[in-house]
Amino acid sequence: MTRPKLFRRLRFRPKAFYFKPRGIPMYELDEVVLTKEEMEAVKLKDHDGLEQIEAARKMKTSQSTFQRILSCGRIKIAEALVRGKALRIEE
């Protein structure tokens, strides 16, 4: 039996949920999906400039879990930028 997923506090709701390279039709693009948790972690750490401990506290998660979420989000964003893929944020 798997462990139940814990509730994480998410406060940020983006205005746009899809980003793609300019000039390439959608049907030609591969897609990378960024979860709500990953988007929140990237926003708190990179946009708001919070320390990792404070950002983890705001999301009501441990610091190590926050770091894993943040790393996955950053990898997905980098993949979309470097490989020219569309980036979709879960709603």
Q: Could you state, in order of their start, the residue ranges of all structural domains in the chain?
A: 39-91
What pLDDT shows up at residue 6? 60
Across all residues in the chain, what is the average pLDDT?
A: 89
pLDDT-based confidence at residue 70 (cuts at 50, 70, 90): very high
For the chain, the helix, strand and coil percentages under 3-state DSSP, each to the nearest 5: 45, 10, 40
Mean predicted confidence (pLDDT) in 35-51: 94
- pTM (predicted TM-score): 0.83
In a 10 Å sphere around its CB, with 0-12 CB exposed, 13-18 middle and 19+ buried, how is residue 5 labelled? exposed
What pLDDT shows up at residue 13? 74
Q: How far apart are CA 39 and CA 30, in angstroms?
A: 19
Over 90: is that where the pLDDT of 29 sits?
yes
Mean predicted confidence (pLDDT) in 67-80: 96
